[in-house]
């Protein structure tokens, strides 16, 4: 089973784990509490000496089945699910790091992750934001107190691609926790483990769920980091296999204590999404490449950002790293054209802020998700006023291209 493809593993995971009554989907377990025949058994579950569930804030059988599927996808050792992707990232940092620790993070991070790191700075951590497309910037930022490097695979919305392999090699030598936010390129498209990353973190809300009907996040320990050599693990969690120490600490300090648990109904929806994520990525990534090419030759467009285009600064790197170039692209209009006018002409693509949905979604970046940071910061990040982000969906490619070209021609 080890060499089976992701789709095969996911489709048969619940059945092979012995889901109740031969059920092919793990049932939705709504119970918050779990009863045991003897107080000794209950105590053993609490003490981690026996598998079982104590209280659903720390885990539930339906969520656990999803965690196992994500572990299979990522080829990791343990996954912990959370109510959102942001909860996964927050819990990771708050449970493993402490005051005075230093984080090196990409300067092109998802906006809310950037905002959360700024909160960590208020709590006494130090964060250096660097252009992670070039390993030398990461190396230059290191200090004796550096504990973690945090990057995304393909940045949203300008699609810069971090130097993922080189950063992995550097973190391995320097013994740093290496976190890859793999939301833009789920494991089928890019395996974070091959970089030597410590954790893959992802928003399940996006491509894995795919249907835009459930929020969720996951954090997977890829089994690459030696926790016995890390000073941030509390003695309570140094039990049994050292590969599981960090995951145990994150489940207790991050999930149990902060409480952003993924509910069973949402876990079920996300697990259904996981069954078809590979098929959907085949289609959305192919659509994105076709749309990116069609837009690049339009006379009213000045620039298209997509790693699959040969003029993208990290195109060669992307070819080596990824199976596909992702389903997200962005473009700028030439001087004198207004992106709001263009977007209002679209008949298929929807004005909406989500990503990785089955439907194509568009958003005027400067007016929405990057509004709060103001014009100076936007300019420094290369966010033009006319920048439009497109999360490409499953529609027929011809329909989609014609929707955009018609809207552009009408300007
Ligand atoms: C959406 C997103 C998140 C946050 O996920 P939520 O499930 O919305 O909390 C984190 N990182 C990236 C790259 C994202 O696109």
Asked whether 266 lines ligand 1 (CB < 6 A), one says no
Average pLDDT over residues 256-270: 98
CA of 396 to the centre of ligand 1 (A): 26
Which residue has the least CA distance to atom 15 on ligand 1?
183
Which residue has the least CA distance to atom 5 on ligand 1?
85
Three-state secondary structure call for residue 289: helix
Mean pLDDT, rounded, of the chain: 96
Per-residue pLDDT band at 239 (split at 50, 70, 90):
confident
Return the top range by mean pLDDT from 42-51, 231-240, 358-367, 372-381.
358-367
Per-residue pLDDT band at 1 (split at 50, 70, 90):
low
CA of 109 to the centre of ligand 1 (A): 10
CA of 385 to the centre of ligand 1 (A): 23
Per-residue pLDDT band at 381 (split at 50, 70, 90):
confident
CA of 353 to the centre of ligand 1 (A): 11
Class of residue 315 by CB neighbours under 10 A (exposed 0-12, middle 13-18, buried 19+)? middle
CA of 181 to the centre of ligand 1 (A): 9
Residue 2 has pLDDT above 90, yes or no: no
Residue with token string 């993922």: 164
Kindly state the DSSP code that residue 262 receives in the 8-state scheme: P
CA of 90 to the centre of ligand 1 (A): 11
Confidence at residue 16, expressed as pLDDT on a 0 to 100 scale: 95
Evaluate the CA torsion angle 105, 78, 245, 263 in order and state its sign. positive
CB 204, CB 217: distance < 8 Å: yes
Beta strands in 140-287 (DSSP E): 146-152, 177-181, 199-203, 217-221
Phi, psi of 264 (to 5 degrees): -65, -35
Find the Cα–Cα–Cα–Cα dihedral 229, 230, 233, 234, rounded to 10°.
70
- pTM metric for this prediction: 0.97
Asked whether 215 lines ligand 1 (CB < 6 A), one says yes
Confidence at residue 377, expressed as pLDDT on a 0 to 100 scale: 85
- % residues pLDDT > 70 (the chain): 100
Among 89, 93, 110, say which to mutate for ligand 1: greatest number of ligand atoms within 8 Å of CB: 110
Confidence at residue 357, expressed as pLDDT on a 0 to 100 scale: 97
Asked whether 328 lines ligand 1 (CB < 6 A), one says no
Among 91, 106, 205, 389, say which to mutate for ligand 1: greatest number of ligand atoms within 8 Å of CB: 205
CA of 86 to the centre of ligand 1 (A): 6
State the Cα–Cα distance between residues 178 and 173, nearest whole angstrom: 11
> What is the tens place of the pLDDT at every residue in 67-119?
999 999 999 999 999 999 999 999 999 999 999 999 999 999 998 999 999 99
């Amino acid at each position: 089973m080890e060499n089976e493809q992701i789709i095969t593993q996911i489709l048969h995971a619940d059945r092979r784990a012995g889901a109740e009554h031969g059920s092919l989907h793990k049932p939705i377990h709504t119970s918050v509490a779990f009863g045991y025949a003897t107080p000794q058994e209950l105590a053993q579950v609490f003490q981690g000496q026996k598998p079982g569930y104590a209280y659903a804030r720390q885990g539930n059988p339906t969520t656990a089945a999803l965690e196992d599927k994500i572990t299979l996808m990522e080829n990791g050792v343990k996954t912990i699910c959370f109510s959102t992707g942001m909860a996964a990232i927050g819990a990771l940092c708050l449970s493993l790091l402490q005051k005075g620790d230093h984080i090196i993070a990409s300067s092109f991070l998802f906006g809310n992750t950037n905002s959360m790191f700024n909160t960590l700075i208020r709590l006494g951590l130090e964060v250096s934001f660097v252009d992670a497309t070039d390993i030398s910037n990461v190396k230059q930022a290191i200090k004796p107190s550096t504990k973690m490097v945090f990057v995304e695979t393909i940045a949203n919305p300008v699609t810069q691609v971090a130097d993922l392999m080189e950063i992995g090699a550097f973190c391995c030598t320097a013994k740093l926790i290496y976190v890859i936010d793999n939301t833009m390129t789920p494991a089928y498209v890019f395996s974070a483990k091959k970089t030597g990353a410590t954790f893959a973190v992802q928003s399940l809300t996006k491509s894995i769920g795919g249907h835009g009907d459930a929020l969720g996040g996951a954090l997977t320990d890829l089994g690459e980091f030696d926790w016995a050599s890390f000073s941030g693990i509390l003695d309570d969690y140094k039990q049994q296999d050292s590969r599981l120490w960090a995951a145990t600490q994150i489940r207790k300090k991050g999930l149990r204590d902060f409480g952003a648990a993924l509910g069973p109904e949402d876990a079920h929806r996300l697990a259904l999404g996981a069954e078809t994520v590979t098929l959907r990525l085949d289609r959305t990534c192919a659509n994105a490449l076709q749309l990116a090419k069609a837009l690049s030759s339009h006379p009213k467009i000045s620039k298209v950002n997509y790693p699959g285009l040969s003029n993208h600064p990290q195109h060669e790197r992307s070819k080596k790293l990824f199976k596909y170039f992702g389903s997200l692209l962005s473009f700028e209009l030439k001087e004198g054209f207004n992106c709001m006018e263009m977007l209002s002409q679209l008949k298929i693509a929807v004005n909406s802020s989500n990503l990785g949905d089955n439907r194509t979604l568009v958003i005027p970046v400067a007016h929405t998700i990057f509004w709060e940071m103001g014009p100076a910061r936007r300019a420094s990040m290369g966010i033009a006023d006319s920048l439009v982000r497109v999360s490409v969906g499953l529609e027929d490619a011809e329909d989609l291209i014609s929707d955009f070209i018609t809207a552009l021609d009408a300007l």
